[in-house]
């Protein structure tokens, strides 16, 4: 055995991984590196009612690889130090241009714990061809805009997957939902203000920043850990298939100072 660096002995490595899992879960719950939930449509799912809250997409490049029954789709770091770009294409797929939008998912679903979710803010990420199709569907409406209510459909699988948008009657967002959306987006306000100041921008939609924050790449160190974990697991198999992404990650309500919800003009709804 010439290579003796691929393993170690003892529970330290296991304990470290469990701690990292806790941190990742905490980040997801607090909207840290993950931000908002992903929008998914299953292959056999019926039409989904959605409402777009951003007109233009946040454009990114993403890689993909299949590990332990799950598809990982990390955002490319966009420079020569990107660990995914350094991997051979037979291991990590070449980056693909995609677009991300903020939308309201009107589906209602219940977790195993009995928590019910509905009218959630989510970030949908699609390939460039799907984004172009959505824009075409929007232009065919009287208003010519994406920011409205839609019925979204999905047909086909793999490269043959096709998404379509069909306009639905659009009413103003209710005051109740406005307050709920503001509460969700308020966690992005501190960094959003810093971003605008750093870029010297008078206007930059908070919703667009929330999308960008949600799809932001990992740090180079974190990305390398993901690649290393993937390489270590190759051939291991197993693992559960990724579901619709709707996992119960709600945290227990804690007493804290009221969040800064910003001003009405900070929002597009």
The 10s digit of each residue's pLDDT in 132-155 is 999 999 999 999 999 999 999 999
pLDDT at residue 261 in the model: 62
Mean pLDDT, the chain, rounded, equals 81
What are the domain boundaries of the chain?
A: 33-235
Phi, psi of 126 (to 5 degrees): -135, 160
Count, residues in the chain: 269
pLDDT at residue 253 in the model: 34
- In the chain, the N- to C-terminal Cα span, in Å, equals 62
Low-confidence ranges of the chain (pLDDT < 70): 1-10, 13, 17, 20-35, 233-265
The 10s digit of each residue's pLDDT in 183-236 is 999 999 999 999 999 999 988 999 999 999 999 999 999 999 888 888 776 653
Topology of domain 33-235, CATH: Replication Fork Single-Stranded DNA Binding Protein (3.90.198)
Phi-psi region at 126: left, alpha or beta (left = phi > 0; alpha = psi -120 to 50): beta
Give the Å distances, CA to CA, from 72 to 57, 79, 84, 91, 187.
Answer: 21, 20, 11, 12, 26
pLDDT at residue 179 in the model: 92
Instruction: Determine which helix (DSSP H) or strand (DSSP E) holds 135, and give its type and residue range.
Output: helix 128-139
């Amino acid at each position: 055995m010439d290579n003796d660096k691929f393993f170690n002995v003892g529970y330290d490595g296991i304990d470290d991984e469990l701690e990292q899992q806790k941190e990742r879960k905490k980040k997801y719950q607090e909207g840290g590196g993950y931000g908002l939930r992903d929008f998914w449509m299953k292959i056999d799912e019926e039409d989904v009612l959605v409402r777009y809250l951003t007109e233009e997409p946040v454009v990114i490049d993403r890689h993909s690889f299949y590990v332990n029954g799950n598809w990982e789709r990390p955002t490319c770091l966009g420079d020569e130090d990107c660990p995914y770009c350094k991997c051979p294409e037979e291991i990590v797929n070449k980056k693909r241009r995609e677009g991300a939008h903020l939308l309201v998912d009107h589906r209602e679903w219940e977790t195993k714990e009995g928590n019910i979710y509905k009218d959630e803010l989510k970030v949908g990420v699609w390939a460039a061809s799907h984004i172009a199709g959505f824009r075409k569907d929007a232009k065919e409406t009287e208003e010519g805009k994406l920011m409205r209510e839609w019925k979204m459909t999905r047909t086909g699988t793999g490269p043959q997957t096709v998404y379509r948008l069909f306009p639905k009657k659009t009413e103003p967002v209710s005051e109740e939902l406005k307050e709920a959306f503001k509460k969700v987006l308020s966690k992005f306000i501190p960094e959003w203000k810093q971003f605008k100041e750093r870029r010297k921008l008078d206007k930059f939609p908070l919703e667009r920043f929330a999308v960008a924050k949600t799809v932001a790449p990992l740090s180079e160190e974190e990305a390398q850990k993901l690649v290393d974990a993937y390489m270590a697991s190759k051939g291991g198999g197993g693992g559960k298939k990724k579901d619709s992404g709707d996992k119960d990650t709600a945290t227990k309500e804690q007493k804290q100072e009221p969040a800064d919800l910003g001003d009405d003009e900070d929002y597009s709804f």
